[in-house]
Amino acid sequence: MNILIAGGGNMGLTYARAFLRSHVTDLQHLMILEHLPEKAEALSTEFPGCVYLDSRDCASRADVIILAVKPQDALSLFQQLKLGIEPGQVFLSIMAGMGIRKIAEGLGVTKVIRAMPNLPAQIGQGMTVFTAADEVSRLELAMVQNLLATTGKAVYVTHEGLIDAATAISGSGPAYVYTFMEAMMQSAREMGFSDAEAELLVVQTFTGAVDLYNKSQYSCSEWISRVASKGGTTEAALEAFRRDGLHTDILNGTRAALQRARELGS
């Protein structure tokens, strides 16, 4: 399978490395389109023979073309790709806020898949939600799902509106986690721990809690009740969270992210 990744940024390179690491393709069948000459030259060291400056030199040979540029660069990318694409190619977009219809009209194509990955894809622990135009066949959908799975877990949804919802939950989600971790580290330092100790305490607590959750059948509420004994320290903290509206703040934050995702898409 010949794969063209249009865009040599962080996510584009994340996919390139994951594909090679997982052996779903090799250097002979991987192509990277990068419009900046100096960056293309640098990428050629890691991906010899794979990097191109002009879509006319590579686009027509691709079975799947991954659109991995910023949304504001989409129109210029479309204009460039139009010079080399062929009928029947599958287009996988990871551009935030850019809907299937806009992509299809911008390129003059029909087989468009839209996906929302997140940052942990860089280490193979990503969460990607994707959907597709009706013209994409089941075989093509399965092929793309295999590609996405090289960076972590991938879930298909039938309603495109859920891509914006995924942006608000899993796409932006790592920043929410880091915000909570940062606050806990600050609290640990204020209690007397060193920077290194505070980091270890918080990181291992998050890692252990998630691992414990994954290896059990208990829900979050059930685990909370197991940790929070009556009249204990955990209950005191949880009561302060409830009193200060932490749960509501999280809900409001994700709703704000969803609204912004919809605004970007329109």
Which residues sit opposite 3 in a β-bridge? Answer: 30, 64
Which residue among 104, 136, 162 closes a domain? 162
Domain containing residue 131: 3-162
Same domain, 74 and 181: no
Could you read off the pLDDT of 64-91 as tens digits, one per residue?
999 999 888 999 999 999 888 988 999 9
CA 14 from chain center: how many Å? 10
Provide the Cα torsion 133, 138, 142, 147; round to 10°: -30
Same domain, 136 and 18: yes
Mean pLDDT of all residues in 220-227 = 96
How far apart are the two ends of the chain, measured CA to CA in Å? 34
Which residue among 116, 141, 162 closes a domain? 162
pTM of structure: 0.89
DSSP letter string over 56-91?
GGTGGG-SEEEE-S-GGGHHHHHHHHTTT--TT-EE
Whether 123 is covered by a domain: the verdict is yes
Same domain, 118 and 188: no
Tell me how many degrees the CA angle 7-57-55 measures, rounded to the nearest 5: 35
How far apart CA 66 and CA 18 sit, in angstroms, is 14
Place of tokens 């909570």: 180
Whether 241 is covered by a domain: the verdict is yes
Distances in Å between the alpha carbon of 217 and those of 37, 53, 61, 133, 213? 52, 51, 47, 36, 8
Looking at residue 261, its pLDDT comes to: 87
How far apart CA 236 and CA 76 sit, in angstroms, is 55
Residues 25-37 as b or e (16 or more Cβ within 10 Å = b): beeebbbbbbbee
Same domain, 157 and 126: yes
Question: What is the count of structural domains for the chain?
Answer: 2
Mean pLDDT of all residues in 100-119 = 96
Same domain, 147 and 179: no
**pLDDT over 80 (residue 266):** no
Average pLDDT, the chain: 95
**pLDDT over 80 (residue 265):** no
- Count the Cβ atoms, other than its own, within 10 Å of residue 105: 12
Same domain, 150 and 194: no
Same domain, 151 and 220: no
**Radius of gyration of the chain, Cα coordinates, nearest whole angstrom:** 22
Same domain, 131 and 150: yes
Same domain, 144 and 206: no
Looking at residue 197, its pLDDT comes to: 98
